[in-house]
Amino acid sequence: MLDPQCESFLAPGADAPELVDLPISVGRSGSYAGISLAGEIDTDILIRTHFIPGVTADLAIRIYTPPTSGPHPGMLYIHGGGWAYFSIDFYDAQLSALSKLTDSVIVSINYQKAPEHKFPIPHDDCYAGLTWLYENSDSLSIDKKRIGIGGDSAGGNLAAGVVLRARDEKIFPLAYQLLIYPALGVDFETDSYLKNGTGYGLTKRTMSWLWSLYLDRPEDWQNPYAVPLSSVDLQNLPPTIIVTAEYDVLRDDGIVYADRLSENGVTVVHKNYSGMIHGFFNYGTQIDEGMRLRNWLSSSIKDLLLN
């Protein structure tokens, strides 16, 4: 059953146009009205904005540092937004909370957006961010052996793709990957796409359109770095935390990936949130489970770092 708070959250937008029906500039500007839905920013966390070199552009990053002495665990976080929307500005509340709860230095990267910058540019930006974090771990007071990567939605897609590439190129071993309702495959006829395709916020029609904004060439649709579920080799990947939501078109992407990772010998911690919708991690002021998710993620991360 749909959670009553999710139902109330969705009700005002029941007749609103889908993103696919709006000019991208309008969707982008309108999305900023939702920043405050994540809640208060933890003022104990030092938050700095910095710029790093990417392959095709300088990239803004935001660094969250806890008040305790290091070296700390580290995490590169990749924000969601369908590869085309949102920015690092949307995640101060969520990431300051995770930084404090896990005692981690978190680096959030503002990758370039589709459709102006299609695959592989956002992927390359995030890979550059992970490389920069590792190379600058000493100055950030980060323990190189406790670096993870995380992301939600399209950010979960980018995180999973970066993890596959990091394994293939053997840059350094990651401590974990954290995938929050990730977009991992391009099968739009799964049970979750069919049952949750309309009425729950993110629709089947919009999600398939967002994929078309991100991927350009026909071969990109089978590239594991762009579409992680197309990978034929999921061995030797880091321990993985996966969150899925019952009323989300992307639910089965996460479930199938969790199963395939387990079959390939990867440690997987998976939780499917009953009654929840896509994006609830960002709606903590309206949906209590979005706040509670922070605690579950933090406990799961700390458990993996101890093993």
User: DSSP characters for 142-188?
Assistant: EEEEEEEEEEETHHHHHHHHHHHHHHHHT----SEEEEES------T
- pLDDT score recorded for residue 228: 99
Once rounded to an integer, what is the mean pLDDT over residues 32-46? 96
- pLDDT score recorded for residue 270: 98
- pLDDT score recorded for residue 307: 77
> For residue 176, what are the β-bridge partners?
148
CA neighbours closer than 13 Å in the CB half-sphere of residue 296:
18
pLDDT (tens digit per residue) in 76-98: 999 999 999 999 999 999 999 99
- pLDDT higher than 80, residue 195: yes
Once rounded to an integer, what is the mean pLDDT over residues 258-280? 98
- Quote the tokens at residue 244: 């899925």
- pLDDT higher than 80, residue 153: yes
- pLDDT score recorded for residue 14: 83
What percent of the chain is modeled with pLDDT above 90?
97
- pLDDT higher than 80, residue 235: yes
- pLDDT higher than 90, residue 28: yes
Active site residues: 153, 248, 278
- pLDDT score recorded for residue 105: 98
In the chain, the domains with their CATH numbers are: 4-306 (3.40.50.1820)
- Quote the tokens at residue 241: 């935390």
- pLDDT score recorded for residue 240: 98
- pLDDT score recorded for residue 134: 98
- pLDDT higher than 80, residue 26: yes
- pLDDT score recorded for residue 15: 86
Q: Average pLDDT of the chain?
A: 97
What percent of the chain is modeled with pLDDT above 70?
100
Q: How confident is the model at residue 46 (pLDDT cuts 50, 70, 90)?
A: very high
- pLDDT score recorded for residue 147: 98
Q: Which residue has the tokens 């321990």?
A: 239
Query: Could you tell me the strand order of the sheet in which 46-53 lies?
Result: 46-53, 58-65, 105-110, 72-78, 142-152, 176-180, 240-247, 268-277
- pLDDT score recorded for residue 83: 98
- pLDDT score recorded for residue 300: 98
